[in-house]
Amino acid sequence: MDGDSADVTSTSRPPAAPPETSFPDVSSPAVPSPEIETALVAYRSLQRRRIVVLASLLALLSVTFVINLALGPARLGVDDIFRALLGQGDAGAQTIIWRLRLPYAVMAVLTGLALGLAGAEMQTILDNPLASPFTLGLSAAAAFGASLAIILDWRLPFPFLSGEGAVAANAFLFAIGSSLALDAVARLRGSATNTVVMFGIALVFTFQACVALLQFIASEDALQDLIFWTMGSVTRATWPKIGALFVACVIVAPFSLRSAWALTALRLGEDRAASMGVDVRRVRLASLMRISVLAAIAVAFSGTIGFVGLVAPHIARRLVGEDHRAYLPAAALSGCLIMSGATLASRNLVPGQVLPVGIVTALVGIPFFLGVVLRRPAS
């Protein structure tokens, strides 16, 4: 937790020697040293508590992940699953694990991670607790892109894409386009956060109207497809998609963590952060780029899953506070956990049916959310 090494600010040496002004009386502080000891202990235990919370989230996630592999219509024993994972044993079991359960489970975790992290950064840089990829139009734009492919059969001129791949590519294109538009507005208006939020809301309504228009003219079959797409599902997971999302997460997450200090400073107020040497504009734009990539890919592959990006940050804030070194991982893990639990429920709630995960996410996530948010802080 004390990873103070990633210094986002210091670049070159100043032209003159840095100031030698430190506290003249640090050696004989007015605060008695037992008090400093106490505070030090309190601070360290706070950090430890955060690590424990993160570890617990990770442990819970592992449990839901394993249950995701274990539960399903076909009854597989633990040893069947292990053997299938190692590529041995019954071919049927291998197919179930490698084609169905494992991709769903992995996709759920990665989608949750991407949306949780994107939501957490978005709420920080826009200084708005209601910001998320869903509320600022990325999901709506993706749905419009998907509906263009599903209903009008309009697709990108990529010959190697067909069917679902084309739908995902369309969705991605529109999601990234809408976040580039958000980005452009942020640049244009000197990154005034309220303007960006208002513009995002305008995007939501615009794309919703466009989707409704397409739905109105759609054939019954296409409409069915589109509605299923917009409900969000991890059953479209394939290993190439998983690979793409995984690569995106692996590339983006370290940059997020590297900006943790700057983002934390931003929470103290924009001017305060700027006075601490944070290049607010650059931090905000870089963060918006990260959000765009994560959210656009996640939404393109899994459809509209609204709840995670909005709620995971709130859960994280309650659990570990807003030091972004802990808050960002906690939001990502909370997102994973919600998605993993939701996938579990979506596959097992109705026997023989896989419910769209978008429906279940809210139903599974809300008790968790209310439990954390409505709990009186222990003070």
Partner 1 sequence: MREAIQDSLTAGPLTISYGRRRILDGVTVGPLPPGSITALLGANGSGKSTLLRALAGLKAADGAISLGDIPLGALAPPERARYCAYMPQTLPPPIRMQTLETVLVAMRTDNRSRKSNHIAQALKILSDLGIASLAHHYLDELSGGQRQLAGLAQALARSPRVLLLDEPLSALDLRHQLEVMDLLRDETASRGMITIIVLHDLGVALRRSDQAILLAEGHVVSAGPVNQVVTPEHLRRAFGVEARIEISSDGRPMLLVDGVA
Give me the residues that bind partner 1 (CB under 8 A), please: 2, 4, 7, 9-12, 14-16, 18-19, 21-26, 29-31, 35-36, 39-40, 42-43, 46, 127, 261, 264-265, 267-269, 271-272, 274-279, 317-318, 321-323, 377, 379
Residue nearer to partner 1 on the CB measure, 13 or 75 = 13
Minimum Å gap between C-beta 198 and partner 1 is: 20
Residue nearer to partner 1 on the CB measure, 163 or 377 = 377
Q: Computed over its alpha carbons, how large is the radius of gyration of the chain?
A: 23
Residue nearer to partner 1 on the CB measure, 22 or 219 = 22
DSSP result, 87-136: T-S-HHHHHIIIIIIHHHHHHHHHHHHHHHHHHHHHHHHTT-TT--TTTT
Minimum Å gap between C-beta 219 and partner 1 is: 50
Residue nearer to partner 1 on the CB measure, 23 or 216 = 23
Minimum Å gap between C-beta 307 and partner 1 is: 21
Could you tell me which of 58, 54, 66, 55 has the C-alpha nearest to residue 344?
66
Residue nearer to partner 1 on the CB measure, 234 or 331 = 331
Minimum Å gap between C-beta 62 and partner 1 is: 27
Minimum Å gap between C-beta 137 and partner 1 is: 25
How far apart are the C-alpha atoms of 298 and 292, rounded to whole Å? 10
Minimum Å gap between C-beta 277 and partner 1 is: 3
How far apart are the C-alpha atoms of 248 and 295, rounded to whole Å? 10
Could you tell me which of 359, 325, 329, 327 has the C-alpha nearest to residue 342?
359
DSSP state of 377: P
Residues 6 or more apart whose CB falls under 8 angstroms from that of 301 comprise 107, 111, 168, 236, 237, 241, 244, 245
Longest dimension (CA), the chain: 80
How far apart are the C-alpha atoms of 302 and 229, rounded to whole Å? 8
Residues 304, 231 contacting (CB under 8 angstroms): yes
Minimum Å gap between C-beta 44 and partner 1 is: 10
How far apart are the C-alpha atoms of 362 and 370, rounded to whole Å? 11
Residues 6 or more apart whose CB falls under 8 angstroms from that of 366 comprise 307
Helix or strand (DSSP H, E) at 183: helix 164-188
How far apart are the C-alpha atoms of 302 and 198, rounded to whole Å? 26
Residue nearer to partner 1 on the CB measure, 26 or 91 = 26
The residue length of the chain stands at: 379
Residue nearer to partner 1 on the CB measure, 69 or 125 = 125
Minimum Å gap between C-beta 27 and partner 1 is: 10
Minimum Å gap between C-beta 225 and partner 1 is: 43
Minimum Å gap between C-beta 64 and partner 1 is: 26
Residues 311, 336 contacting (CB under 8 angstroms): no
Residue nearer to partner 1 on the CB measure, 74 or 192 = 192
How far apart are the C-alpha atoms of 178 and 56, rounded to whole Å? 36
Buried b vs exposed e over 209-234: b needs ≥16 C-beta within 10 Å?
ebbeebeeebeeebbebbebbbbbbb
Residue nearer to partner 1 on the CB measure, 83 or 318 = 318
Residue nearer to partner 1 on the CB measure, 38 or 95 = 38
